[in-house]
Amino acid sequence: MKRLAVLTALLALALPASLSAASPITVLAAASLAEVFPRIDKAPRYSFAGSDQLALQIRQGAPADVYASASPKYAELAYRDGYVLKPVVFATNKLIVLLPRGNPAGIHSVYDLRRAGVKIVIGDKTVPIGTYTRQILDTLGITADVTKNVVSEETDVKGIVSKIALGEADAGFVYRTDARPVASRTRPIAVPDWAQPPIRYEAAVVKASAHRGVARAFIGKLISKRGRGLLAQAGFGLPKRQGK
C-alpha cells in the first residue's frame, strides 16, 4: 500500500500541467481594452495590440481562444472566412482629441488642429483608431489641413496615448476610455457628437480553440451585468441587450 501511494504521488507529479490544472485561455484583444479586461476576468492570458495585427495572428495560426476587436470589420471578416465563431457586440466608444496637460500649442477645439505647426499623432490607416480618425476628419471637412500636421502614425492607440502623455506631440485622436489612465498628464477635447462614427467592439470564440466552453464563458462575462458595469465604469458605451 505504501509503495502504491508513493507511485501514485510520482505519477501525479509527472502529469503535464495542462492535465493537472486547467490552463487559462488566451485572449487577443484591442489595445484600448488593456485596462478593463483584466478587471472583468484576471484569469486569461492577454495579448493587447492593434485589432488588425491580432486578426492576422489568428489567420496565421497563433494559439488563441477569444478575439476582441475595436471594430466590427476585423471580427466580421474573420467570421466570414471561418476563423472565429459568430461575433458578439459588447461595447461602444467615442473618440476625443488628447492633449498634453500643459497644452503648449494652445488647442481648445478640434478645429485648432488645422493651424500650421501643430504636431499631431494619429493611428495608422490599417487599425480601427486610424480608420475612425480619418472618418471624423472627413465628416468635419478638415482632412487636408490636419493631415499635413501629422508627425506620426501609430499601430495601436496606446502608442498615441504614450506620445501625448510624454509631451512628444501637441494632440492625438484616441478613444475617450484611453484618457482616464493618463488623466494627470493629459487633458481631453471633445469631438462633436454629430461627427462621431459608430464604434462597436466585437468578441468571438476562435474556431481553432481547444477550450471553446471556457472561451464562451469569458464572452458571457463581458455581456453580464457585472461586465457591463465595469465597462461603463471604464467609460465605454453599452449596446442594448438582445431582446430589449
**CA proximity to 228, closest of 240, 216, 217:** 240
Residue-level pLDDT at 14: 40
Digit-coded pLDDT (tens) for 16-49: 333 334 679 999 999 999 999 999 999 999 999 9
Q: What is the pLDDT of residue 159?
A: 95
Residue 198 is given by DSSP the state: P
Domain positions in the chain are 23-92+200-233, 95-195
Residue ranges of the chain whose pLDDT lies below 70:
1-22, 242-244
Give the bridge partners for 123, in sequence order. Answer: 154
Give the pLDDT confidence of 44-83 residue by residue, as tens digits.
Answer: 999 999 999 999 999 999 999 999 999 999 999 999 999 9
Gap between the Cα atoms of 56 and 190, Å rounded: 32
Give the strand order in the sheet containing 186-190. Answer: 150-154, 120-123, 171-175, 95-100, 186-190
Model pLDDT, residue 51: 94
pLDDT value for 164: 97
CATH class belonging to 23-92+200-233: alpha beta
Return the CATH fold of 95-195.
D-Maltodextrin-Binding Protein; domain 2 (3.40.190)
Task: Pick the closest to residue 154 from 135, 170, 172 (CA basis).
Answer: 172
Q: What is the model's pTM?
A: 0.85
Domains 23-92+200-233 and 95-195 fall in the same CATH topology: yes
Q: What is the pLDDT of residue 11?
A: 36
